[in-house]
Amino acid sequence: MKEHYTVRIYDKQLSDKVEGLYNKCKDLYSSQNPFLVDCISRGAELIEHDLVGENKKNTIASLYDEIHLTVRKLDNLLKLCEKSAKETIANLSINQKLLSCNYNMLLGLSENNPKPKNFIENGMFDDLPERLGELLEDILKQILGK
């Protein structure tokens, strides 16, 4: 019995697909090798089930194994979603500061009272205007039901 295999993929489309999938999922794997082993393992299970007709989920133990696998997958998905949500919140916070600053600078320009560059760079105009802050709070109350 071989303990390891070397695989070469000459099909560029398949190679690109595998590379793309890895790039989307690389936070779930310690390196590309465990990802490829998982791909082969899942493929082997599909072949067993679809082509050979074997169904390994015929015992209570195998059902529990499948449940544990599903829980691990859900846990990994939650980790990805959490990371994505945190990145989105960070980007939205930066965008809000930029938009507030732009809003305040435009008000200054419309009043022929441009804001000094050093004030802008120091963040003096980054705060959300009061009426928009109140609007944001009202929207959040509606969305969150508080």
Residue 64 has what pLDDT? 85
The helices-and-strands tally (H runs, E runs) of the chain is 5, 0
Between CA 145 and CA 18 the distance in angstroms is 43
Q: Could you tell me the two tokens for 46? A: 């599909």
Question: Going residue by residue through the chain (146 aa), what tens digit of pLDDT does each one get?
Answer: 677 888 888 999 999 999 999 999 888 888 898 889 888 888 888 888 767 766 555 678 877 887 898 899 899 899 889 988 999 999 998 998 888 888 888 888 888 888 888 888 888 888 888 888 888 888 888 888 86
80 sits in which H/E element: helix 60-110
Largest CA distance in the chain: 82
Q: How far is CA 137 from the centre of its chain?
A: 26
pLDDT attached to residue 55: 59
pTM for the structure as a whole: 0.47
Residue 60 CB: number of other CB atoms within 10 A? 8
Q: What is the rounded radius of gyration, in angstroms, for the C-alpha atoms of the chain?
A: 26
